[in-house]
């Protein structure tokens, strides 16, 4: 009886260690996946936005550019689906990010504030020289968000403007 009781305690302890080890491994895998996808999305957006001709329309969740080939390039954040989508005229759409809890775009004009050397925010799309992206994404394990990643102040400058 004593041996069975001791065996059950040891097996229960091993089950807890196994469960928490698997959860930690899943959490680490989720975080690496999240980090990789946000970096790939930021790299792709940076590369494309730098080569556009100009920003033609702006909302805090949507950017519309005239691309280098005079086509339309859009980045749209859908808060209901929690996705960031890239739409290229003549090519189609591509989901860049999933699980985005929040994402906002901000635009800044060319001339910095003379007293602070910081870009000046603008609301006129055609005056935009720099685009700022701020987002927060997360991943779930067993239904609860455990991994989050924030990209703070990723500033992209339109080179042709």
Sign of CA dihedral 86, 48, 59, 100: positive
pLDDT tens digits for 123-143? 888 889 999 998 888 877 767
- 61-104 pLDDT, tens digit per residue, is 999 999 999 999 999 999 999 999 999 999 999 999 988 888 99
> How is the chain split into domains, by residue range?
2-157
| pLDDT number for residue 74 | 97
Residue 114 confidence class, pLDDT cut points 50, 70, 90: low
pLDDT of residue 48: 95
Give the integer Cα–Cα distance in Å for 44 and 42.
5
Rounded to whole angstroms, the Cα distance separating 127 from 55 reads 8
The confidence score (pLDDT) of residue 121 equals 86
pLDDT number for residue 108: 92
């Amino acid at each position: 009886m004593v041996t069975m009781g001791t065996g059950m305690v040891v097996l229960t302890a091993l089950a807890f260690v196994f469960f928490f080890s698997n959860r930690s491994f899943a959490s680490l895998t989720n975080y690496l996946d999240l980090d990789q996808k946000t970096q790939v999305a930021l790299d792709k957006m940076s590369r494309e936005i730098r080569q556009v001709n100009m920003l033609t329309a702006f909302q805090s969740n949507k950017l519309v550019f005239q691309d280098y080939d005079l086509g339309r390039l859009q980045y749209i954040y859908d808060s209901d689906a929690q996705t960031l989508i890239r739409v290229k005229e003549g090519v189609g759409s591509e989901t860049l990010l999933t699980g985005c809890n929040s994402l906002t775009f901000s635009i800044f004009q060319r001339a910095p504030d003379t007293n602070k050397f910081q870009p000046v925010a603008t609301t006129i799309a055609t005056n935009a020289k720099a685009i700022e992206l701020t987002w927060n994404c997360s991943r779930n394990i067993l239904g609860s968000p455990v991994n989050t990643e924030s990209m703070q102040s990723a500033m992209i400058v339109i080179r042709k403007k």
